[in-house]
Amino acid sequence: MTSSSSTGGYKTVKSWKDWLPKDVSILMVLLGTVFIFEVLGWFIAEQSFIFNTQRLTIIILQMSIIGIIAIGVTQIIIMAGIDLSSGSALAFTGIVAASFAQTSEYTRAVYPALTDMPVLLPIIAGILVGFVLGGINGGLIGYAGIPPFIATLGMLVAARGLARWYTSGSQVSFFIDDYAILGSGIVPVIIFLTTAMAFHLLLRYTRYGRYTYAIGSNEQAARVAGINIRAHKLLVYTLAGGLYGLAAVVETSRTLTAQSGAGMLYELDAIAAVVIGGTSLMGGKGRITGTIIGVCILGVITSGFTFLGIGSFYTNIVKGIIIVAAVAADQYSNNKNANR
């Protein structure tokens, strides 16, 4: 027998057959997308799309940053929530982290008593600020009862304003050498995959995961079952904020600069990747493995349009269509199951 009532996207029977059909269908979409761009590449650009080391590296690195954000967004959406503030949170946390990672020459010119900060300090600072921003979201939603859309929309505006205030509109740069290592080579990919694996296990095998799926499936039933809804929402949003901070650290160390305009529309990319990966916006269903594939699909589409010389506004149009189509398909599936 199988049962998925307590774990949403993860069935209680621990068999690869329980998750294979769903994730394989999304994987086929990814392979089909790659094939289409490869064919168009030879016909239009007369070169390969996927068999290009430089292009493939750019795709993977960019996907890693969106992917870390999407891991946090996945948990929120499974809980039937939403977060519109991840891009702005990344901008502010990145600026804070970068300000602690500047070289002694710069810091002594501005603050004579300061020298190079240990590389661990900017990492911790960025993640902690992310925890605070996520905790504010979770507190407003869980304890003040403000709808997630409104609470996180407010944070979207406020965090962007904080980023501009903190830097007075200027860039933060001149980082210590050790800080740049976090964004070099395959390090961002390792960070992304390690984080994804950790939260995959957390959602599948722990009480945290069971509570997250239970709240998303039926909040009232979860409350009757004794789950502290308010505290768990606070926890989920706080952890997501920490992941935004981690993504900001990786992004600033990769680009070697931090600015208030960073992360624009990252929240929509993350939501799109999560929805493409099979997580239901209605809550109670989804998995990190699907999100990883969804991030890959989104990265391939974005890079493919650039490769073919198609304007970025067309990319945004396609993303919007994909989100609507994925939600419509999910709604149809839910209605079909409800009528059985």
- CATH at 156: 1.10.3470
Residue 46: inside a domain, yes or no? Answer: no
* CB distance 299 to 32 below 8 Å: no
- Of the CA atoms within 13 Å of residue 115, those in its CB half-sphere come to 1
User: Which pTM was predicted?
Assistant: 0.87
| Letter string b/e over residues 280-300, b meaning 16 or more CB atoms within 10 A of that residue's CB | bbebbbbbbbbbbbbbbbbbb
Residue 340: inside a domain, yes or no? Answer: no
Residue 299: inside a domain, yes or no? Answer: yes
Residue 159: inside a domain, yes or no? Answer: yes
Task: Note the helical H segments in the chain.
Answer: 16-40, 53-78, 86-99, 104-110, 120-142, 148-167, 177-180, 187-205, 207-217, 219-224, 229-255, 266-276, 288-307, 312-338
**Distance in angstroms (rounded) separating the CA atoms of residues 217 and 144:** 22
Residue 147: inside a domain, yes or no? Answer: yes
Residue 35: inside a domain, yes or no? Answer: no
Residue 6: inside a domain, yes or no? Answer: no
- Containing domain of residue 152, as a range? 20-28+52-327
Domain count, the chain: 1
**Distance in angstroms (rounded) separating the CA atoms of residues 40 and 34:** 10
Residue 242: inside a domain, yes or no? Answer: yes
The DSSP code for 117 is P
* CB distance 97 to 248 below 8 Å: yes
Per-residue pLDDT of the chain (340 residues; tens, 9 = 90+): 344 444 555 544 444 444 445 678 788 888 888 888 888 887 777 777 777 777 777 778 878 999 999 999 999 999 999 999 999 999 999 999 998 888 755 555 555 444 556 788 999 999 999 999 999 999 999 999 999 999 999 999 999 999 999 988 788 887 888 888 888 888 999 999 999 999 999 999 999 999 999 999 999 999 999 999 999 999 999 999 999 999 999 999 998 899 999 989 899 999 999 999 989 888 999 999 999 999 999 888 888 888 887 777 777 888 788 778 877 877 777 776 666 6
**Distance in angstroms (rounded) separating the CA atoms of residues 190 and 186:** 6
| Letter string b/e over residues 165-200, b meaning 16 or more CB atoms within 10 A of that residue's CB | ebbeeeebbbbbeebbebbeeebbbebbeebbeebb
**Distance in angstroms (rounded) separating the CA atoms of residues 194 and 306:** 29
